[in-house]
Amino acid sequence: MDLSGIISIAGMSGLYKVVAQTKNGLIVESLSDKKRVPVYATHKVSTLEDVRIYSTGDDVPLKEVLQKIYDKEKGAPSIDHKLPDAELKKHFKAAFAEYDEDRVYVSDIKKVFNWYNTLQKEGLLEKKEVKAEEEKPSEEKPKLKKAADAKAGSKTKLKDTSAKPVKTASSKVKAQGVRKTGVA
């Protein structure tokens, strides 16, 4: 389960995937309707990786709570987040028994179920396994590169670039935080 790049934006419903970064914000894509919108620094943005749920012990990352719901539902969609409060609490308690009932509100439980169903619909909750076969070629590539470098090194002489950097007047000016413009 990879929640990196998935965010929630205060005041905007749904979950968003970060597509690009601009100089003053982000470009995000809605997971539900695939529309792209800009998000500026004035918006309150929460990454799902950083969200934690209060429990009777230490706070639990949202990723673990979603995994518990996923295991309970066996990968199927969960209940609708619009059901009555008592039923939502009961279902949440069955999946995540150690949550703190005093600090986790029904609105939080509704968000978790809504987020779970959105992520499950998009297929982002499935575990991605790395095959051992895929790792072997990546280990062999550096060996091939070293052999190619050895061949190239025997044919051409390389210049030693490990010399100390030369200090100039302009580097001294930048280090002090003063900028010379050349205007008197």
Mean pLDDT for 50-71 is 92
**pLDDT confidence bin for 181, thresholds 50/70/90:** low
Distances (CA, A) of 66 to 32, 112, 126, 169: 18, 8, 11, 57
Dihedral over alpha carbons 59, 63, 68, 74 (to 10 degrees): 170
Using the predicted structure, report yes or no on whether residue 51 has a pLDDT greater than 60: yes
CATH topology of domain 6-47: SH3 type barrels. (2.30.30)
Q: Given this model, what pLDDT does residue 169 score? A: 47
CA distance 127 to 183: 61
The residue extents of the domains of the chain are: 6-47, 52-122
pLDDT digits (tens, 9 = 90+) for 68-112: 999 998 888 888 888 899 999 999 999 998 999 999 999 999 999
Give me the CATH code for the 52-122 domain, please: 1.10.10.1650
pLDDT digits (tens, 9 = 90+) for 146-177: 444 544 444 444 444 444 555 544 444 444 44
Q: Where are the alpha helices (DSSP H) in 74-184?
A: 85-95, 106-122, 132-155, 169-176
* Tokens found for residue 71: 């295991």
pLDDT digits (tens, 9 = 90+) for 104-160: 999 999 999 999 999 998 888 876 554 444 454 545 445 445 444 544 444 444 444
User: How many CB atoms neighbour CB 127 within 10 A?
Assistant: 9
